Amino acid sequence: MSGSIRLLIADDEHLIRGALVALLNLEPDIEVVASADNGVTAVEQAIATVPDVCLLDLEMPHADGLEAAARILAAVPTRVVIVTRHARPGVLRRALASKVSGFVPKSTPAEDLAHVIRDVAAGRRYIDPEIAATALTAERCPLTDRELDALRFSRSTTSVQQIAERLHLAQGTVRNYLSSAMTKLDASSRHEAAEKAWQQGWI
Amino acid sequence: MSGSIRLLIADDEHLIRGALVALLNLEPDIEVVASADNGVTAVEQAIATVPDVCLLDLEMPHADGLEAAARILAAVPTRVVIVTRHARPGVLRRALASKVSGFVPKSTPAEDLAHVIRDVAAGRRYIDPEIAATALTAERCPLTDRELDALRFSRSTTSVQQIAERLHLAQGTVRNYLSSAMTKLDASSRHEAAEKAWQQGWI
DNA sequence: GCCGGACCATGACAAATGTCACTGGCCTAG
DNA sequence: CTAGGCCAGTGACATTTGTCATGGTCCGGC
């Protein structure tokens, strides 16, 4: 009947996914109609079942929560709530840009989650106030495009040499970008700078 | 009555803890009698309630799962199951050394968890076969004590200088240990080496 | 037009990091 | 006892990394 909220749950950790299904199925007005362990099958299931609300973990293999959210919202008339362990300000920004309706950290009390889902199903939005506050106080990214490029690669590759090759630049240039980024982010090594930029959700 | 298993749950993420409580309370023969969000209160609760089984997350603030397990087992006649996200071989070894009865990753299917708890409550042991296999095939730590010392600090401090001061050694010596560790672990920077050692549970 | 500012790009230099060859102490096997 | 292996510890050397000064290009404002 019309009062029952049809829910999709996606989380790559089987134990947590199962526990969430159990928790939310206890609510009389919520019915879990699909679950997935990665972004790609989440999209498929969403298209197949057309749930009222999709609860997506941000950290998932193949396609992360944001990508899955974008694809689902483009294909199906539904609403999306993102759940995440590390709430990075920049990610919230991007999530809102792709019309996500809810954003909660995994530190949320379990009892509150059902409230959030009901709110979102009713067409309202819910953003965790803590994350919203940090996202608003956090100044915008001070890094230039090329600095971001260099930092991105610097997370995966070992040497400046390799980064330079990928970007088709001289080694000195790359070092320069990284150095500049380090100054702006007040870091003392490029790994630290990359880490900080990642925590802010800038890369 | 005698068939009901009294359970303690400790996990620092509120959402997951709540969901696990809901999931396991659904089992007719399991009763969750305590829950905690860090290692220290887990120990306190265990002493206060004397549960049959304690389900401890490995990654927790204040005292991690292993430390909490050791303290609980020293104080109360109970059994411990460790749950973890990253199953590192060395950690399993240490867990077994401190008489833990169960060890499961968070990728375990939710339905299996109740089985594990029943097994452990009945005095049996349960080790995730996947982790057990890697722990057995993984060769023993090839690093020397001082190399491990250096690597430990290298995770938190930035410069060799600082590590040298903490260990009361010359910079060259520290570099040497790190270099040696890097060779043994086939890493190309000390951060990578520290990371690998950590993943193996050696530090 | 042309000036100032922001970004891209480079090479030279200094400081750090990683490699190597070496010494000395301790233990064990022969 | 002593030769050889293993580990702690060190300094010299080459490579990598981070900093700096500089030049070029594109843009918006005066």
pLDDT one-digit tens code per residue, B3-17: 799 999 999 999 999
pLDDT given at position B75? 96
Contact A106, B14 (CB under 8 A): yes
User: Nearest nucleotide to B143 by CA–C1' distance?
Assistant: D7
Residues by CB within 7 A of strand D: list them: A 158-161, 171-172, 175-176, 178-179, 182-183, 189-190; B 144-147, 169-170, 172-173, 175-177, 189
Q: What is the pLDDT of residues B72-112, one digit of tens each?
A: 999 999 999 999 998 888 899 889 988 999 999 999 999 89
**Residue B76: φ, ψ to 5°:** -135, 140
- The percentage of residues in chain A with a pLDDT greater than 90, rounded to a whole number, is 66
Report domain extents, chain A. 5-137, 145-199
**Burial (0-12, 13-18, 19+ Cβ within 10 Å), A2:** exposed
A163 pLDDT more than 90: no
Q: What pLDDT was estimated at residue A8?
A: 98
CATH architecture assignment, domain A145-199:
Orthogonal Bundle (1.10)
**Distance from residue B168's CA to nucleotide D2's C1', rounded to whole Å:** 34
pLDDT at B139: 65
Domain B5-137 has CATH 3.40.50.2300: yes
Q: How confident is the model at residue A176 (pLDDT cuts 50, 70, 90)?
A: confident
User: Which residues in B lie closer than 8 A to residue A104 (C-beta atoms)?
Assistant: 15
Strand partners, A44: none
pLDDT tens sequence across A7-32: 999 999 999 999 999 999 999 999 99
Please, which residues have CB within 8 angstroms of residue A80's CB and are 6 or more apart in sequence?
A53, A54, A56, A69, A72, A73, A99, A100, A101, A102
CA(A93)–C1'(D27) in Å? Answer: 28
B196 interaction partners in chain A (CB closer than 8 Å): none
Give, in order, the Cα–Cα distances in Å from A37 to each of A41, A180, B58: 7, 39, 22
The DSSP element (H or E) to which B2 belongs, if any, is none
